[in-house]
Amino acid sequence: MTPLPERILPEARKAIGKKKSATQLWDDALSLARARWHLRNATSVGERVRVWGRPVIRNEGSLIIDQRVSLISGAIPIQLTTEPDGRLEIGARTFMNYGCSILATKLVSIGPDCKVGMEVLMMDNDFHQVDPHKRWIRPSSAPIVLEENVWLGARVIVLSGVTIGANSVIAAGSVVTRDIPPRSFAAGQPARVIKSVA
């Protein structure tokens, strides 16, 4: 049997595609190995996915992670949760910073090349109704969709039924309660479009 470092280093070298020092290759190899271990409960994981730290994964539905996704799960772990009928899709080359919490009861779809800042929260269900007599009745879910190349700043909250258009930026601390058109810069609570992104 080939020792672990000898098995992982060639894969890391292939994944990186350029010459690096042995230390850099080892760090990259460990990142790839961590991804395989921590994402073992995912439904599908693409090539060259990297994980730093320990994300919390609870997959009772479908968790699809495309290639070259980076998950930075530092002091506050990333939490990815799917309920039995839920589907969470994370597109290629998407970056997620520590403390993100995503819950899919129906569908949360994050497109390719997205940047998700620290402590972002996305839930496709409100879990309780406003009517005091119906608080224990769960409302229906509505999908969350982040199109290609969306950047969510730190501590953004995205609520159910929201689509954020391609190439948009959401400022830190915003609460997104309605759709944001493509190429928009939005901020506030609730978030509103401030200007167009060129």
Condensed to tens digits (0 to 9), the pLDDT of residues 60-106 reads 999 999 999 999 988 899 999 999 999 999 999 999 999 999 999 99
The pLDDT tens digits for 96-125 are 999 999 999 999 999 999 999 999 999 998
Which residue spans of the chain are classified as CATH 2.160.10.10?
A: 46-196
Element (H, E) at 81: strand 79-82
Whether the per-residue pLDDT at 157 is higher than 50: the answer is yes
| CATH number of the structural domain 46-196 | 2.160.10.10
Average pLDDT over residues 151-161: 97
Q: Is the CB of residue 171 less than 8 Å from the CB of residue 185? A: yes
Whether the per-residue pLDDT at 47 is higher than 90: the answer is no
Beginning with the edge strand found earlier in the chain, give each strand of the sheet holding 144-146 in spatial order. Answer: 44-45, 62-65, 87-90, 107-110, 144-146, 163-164
Q: pLDDT grade, residue 1 (50/70/90)?
A: very low
**Residue 171 structure tokens:** 């400022």
Taking the model in full, what pTM does it have? 0.82
CA distances, 26 to each of 4, 95, 141, 143 (Å): 11, 21, 43, 39
Lowest-confidence segment of 65-74, 144-153, 169-178 by average pLDDT = 65-74
CA distances, 194 to each of 160, 177, 186 (Å): 22, 15, 5
Average pLDDT over residues 166-186: 98
Closest listed residue to residue 92, CA positions, set 162, 144, 30, 45? 45
Q: What percent of the chain has pLDDT over 90?
A: 62
Residues annotated as catalytic are 128
Whether the per-residue pLDDT at 10 is higher than 80: the answer is no
CA angle 85, 41, 75 (to 5 degrees): 105
Burial class (CB in 10 A: 0-12, 13-18, 19+), 4: exposed
